[in-house]
Structure 1
């Protein structure tokens, strides 16, 4: 359990189970949601990791929407919608905030980043994102342009699989940028599959299976699998493609 820090922007969430009429329908049927009671956040960086389908993005999306961010991503000033697919989970979350309000914030979700980039062009806000249309850059360059130029500090940043467009080297650049922003009074909540991205030391790391479990970095399945593969790729490949 983290020490109480009333200055962090988001301290914890609580699932209001009394407002859920059935746990047999989506998203409440997801084990991670069904077993969710209270989830505490680190004042600097909180990671949520786990296999595909465990509900990481669903929960992260709900947190972002409940905090006031656009469901498809962006800052609180974004109000576009291209496909209304978000769940109602956000309506069943209680956010416990700190005494300070962030001066900045952004919800980055890899799967709908194209729509965010389009909206940035439409509202003529390119200057805040490096001065070049994100659509005129590669996918990875546009991610970094957003993070390096738009994230100002003193903010709450919710990132859903930010490694999706980034090379391993650029993922390390992301870690460096996260550290700079943390030193500038920022808080991050990140869902990721990347052993590089989840390596930031001053953090809490929740591994999501049927429930949220705080784990050490080296004990995550992602780290152990990647270490095993990189340490002996031939052995792993022989197993994977055995005749």
Structure 2
């Protein structure tokens, strides 16, 4: 087991609590971060789930930036910044890496995907001696496709395997059937030596088996899939739709 953990790309993060200026200020006042000491990741797939505002995207962003990714997404080669809104949490966490180095990597976040697509078009409009960047994303401008199509084009074409992939709410643009297709793509990439860290609200995506699921409440709690609030709420709604609607609309 220890040998396998040494081979994964990101083993854990540790919050340097002694350096935190104040646990009453953002982002350290978020319960998930206020109670954070060490967070260990699964060698293959780790999900971070929780309510809006719980801090999951802030944690994911800090991991990505600490690893060398641009705060707004992309590979390590992207350095655009549309608006500097990311927190300074990455300055206070220690990233514990394994011995193995990835051959590929990507930070994909739903809220700034438009900015990423724009930057790709801008870079391709400049003189270059190499092939257009968009060739690595399926050959069509991401702005020339629907939001869901462009999202999925990244999964299908840019992710090559043997990589570290950090995904923030990837379901935002995907239909339920596309979310199921994403499970297939995740599994293909895991079999090719990849590691995923994913923040999601999707009961479909988080059903990927043999993953570690952290549910954020007052802190990070490891839970089974069926124990997540997302699964329980969705199951209750589907199994008792009219009753739930009557309660919601009374």
Short-chain TM bin: over 0.9
User: Structure 2 matches for 1:44-55, cutoff 5 A?
Assistant: 44-55=44-55
Q: Distance in 1 between matches of 2:148 and 2:161?
A: 21
Q: What is the correspondence of 1:32-181 to structure 2 with a 5 Å cutoff?
A: 32-124=32-124, 125-181=133-189
Q: Deviations over 1:187-223 (max 9, x none)?
A: 0000000000100012100000110000000000000
Deviations 1:9-43 (A, max 9, x none): 00000000111121111001111101000000000
| TM-score, scaled relative to structure 2 | 0.95
Question: Over residues 125-182 of structure 1, what are the superposed CA-to-partner deviations in whole Å (9 max), with x where a residue is unaligned?
Answer: 1100000000000000000001100000000000000000000000000010000000
Q: Distance in 2 between matches of 1:224 and 1:56?
A: 20
Instruction: Summarize the Cα distance change of 1:112–1:194 in structure 2 as closer, same or farther, 3 Å threshold.
Output: same
Q: CA deviation at 1:4?
A: 5.8
- Structure 2 gaps of 5+ residues are 125-132
Taking structure 1 as reference, are residues 37 and 2 closer, same or farther at Cα in structure 2, changes over 3 Å only?
A: farther
Does residue 197 of structure 2 align to residue 196 of structure 1? no
Q: Deviations over 1:80-99 (max 9, x none)?
A: 00000000000101010000
| Mapped contact 1:6–1:98 kept (Cα < 8 A) | yes
Q: CA deviation at 1:121?
A: 1.1
Secondary structure of 1:25's partner? coil
Cα RMSD for the two superposed structures? 1.2
The 4+ residue runs of structure 1 with deviation greater than 2 A are 1-4
Residue 123 of structure 1 aligns to a residue whose secondary structure is helix
Q: For the residues of structure 1 that align with 2:14 and 2:66, how far apart are their CA atoms?
A: 12
1:7 pairs with 2:15? no
The TM-score with structure 1 as length reference comes to 0.98
Q: Which structure 1 residue ranges, 5 or more long, are not aligned?
A: none
Output the CA distance in 2 between the equivalents of 1:223 and 1:3. 33
Mapped to 2, the partners of 1:56 and 1:224 lie a distance apart of 20
Q: What is the CA–CA distance in structure 2 between the aligned matches of 1:83 and 1:3, rounded to whole Å? A: 41
Do the aligned residues in 2 keep the contact of 1:2 with 1:42 (CA within 8 Å)?
Answer: no
